[in-house]
Amino acid sequence: MPSLNLLKAIAREGVLTARAGMYPLARLRPMPTAGPLGSHTPVVLVHGFLGHRDMLRPIARRLYSEGWDTVERVGYRSTTARLEDVVDAIREVAVPLAKKHGGKVDIIGHSLGALASRAWIKALGGDDYVRRFISLGGPHAGTTWYFVSPPWLHDALRPDGPWAKLLNEGTEPVPTTVIRARYDHQVFPPARAAIDGVHEVVIGGYGHNGMLWAPEAHDAIVHALDAPGNTP
């Protein structure tokens, strides 16, 4: 029943995207109590294009409920930011946090936030501060719809653009997990969210923004953060 599953995913995506726009109401619900200090590696969450910090509340809520003590959400002006601006915003949060906690951070990026996180980690020195990276719907091989984005993002989102070529050379410098939606309509075709040689989890029944609320995606995030080993 692929067509029925697609229709359900479209309907769910519409509901959850509308829910993202109601973020002031989400702030009325307090976060769970954080776990004991130092119980987990600090986590940095990064939203995507046209997104905002509060879209990441469902993931932060799940991590706090699982015992994480430090979860920071990066904010930036996503209507005007270039890829390099998003990288700067990530760096400004992640580097002091890593130094404060005497080690490294884990980064979870969604969409453009995932692409910028990978750019920082792989090409701009961020691997010195990052233990693990999780990508949620990052356009790592670009997207067919790049031309509807602002011109200053075309180089980052074009399938044949310079960032796609640069980031897809060689192996990943830190352990990396890709979580992507089977029915992603923004990273299109959805397989462009994959990274060669990297373990991935494909979430059915959700679209690009819906992954932020998907329990299956949250489960995959917790599993990836808790996974042993120091190599991809």
Q: Is the pLDDT of residue 12 over 90?
A: no
For residue 76, name the pLDDT band (cuts at 50, 70, 90): very high
Mean pLDDT (whole number) for 180-206 = 94
- Residue 34 placed within a domain: no
The pLDDT value recorded for residue 34 is 79
Question: Any bridge partners for residue 22, and if so which?
Answer: none
Query: Can you give the CATH number for the domain in which 114 is found?
Result: 3.40.50.1820
> In total, how many domains does the chain have?
1
Q: 143 or 19: whose pLDDT is higher?
A: 143
Indicate if the alpha-carbon torsion angle 150, 156, 158, 162 is positive or negative. Answer: positive
Q: With contact defined as beta carbons under 8 Å apart, do 131 and 97 qualify?
A: no
The domain of 198 spans 2-18+41-226
Residue pLDDT, tens place only, 86-136: 999 999 999 999 999 988 999 999 999 999 999 999 999 999 999 999 999
Over the Cα atoms of the chain, what is R_g? 16
> In the chain, what percentage of residues exceed pLDDT 90?
72
- Lowest mean pLDDT segment, chosen from 11-25, 101-115, 190-204: 11-25
What is the distance between the alpha carbons of residues 39 and 230, in angstroms, rounded to a whole number? 18
- Residue 121 placed within a domain: yes
Residue pLDDT, tens place only, 152-161: 999 999 999 9
- Residue 148 placed within a domain: yes
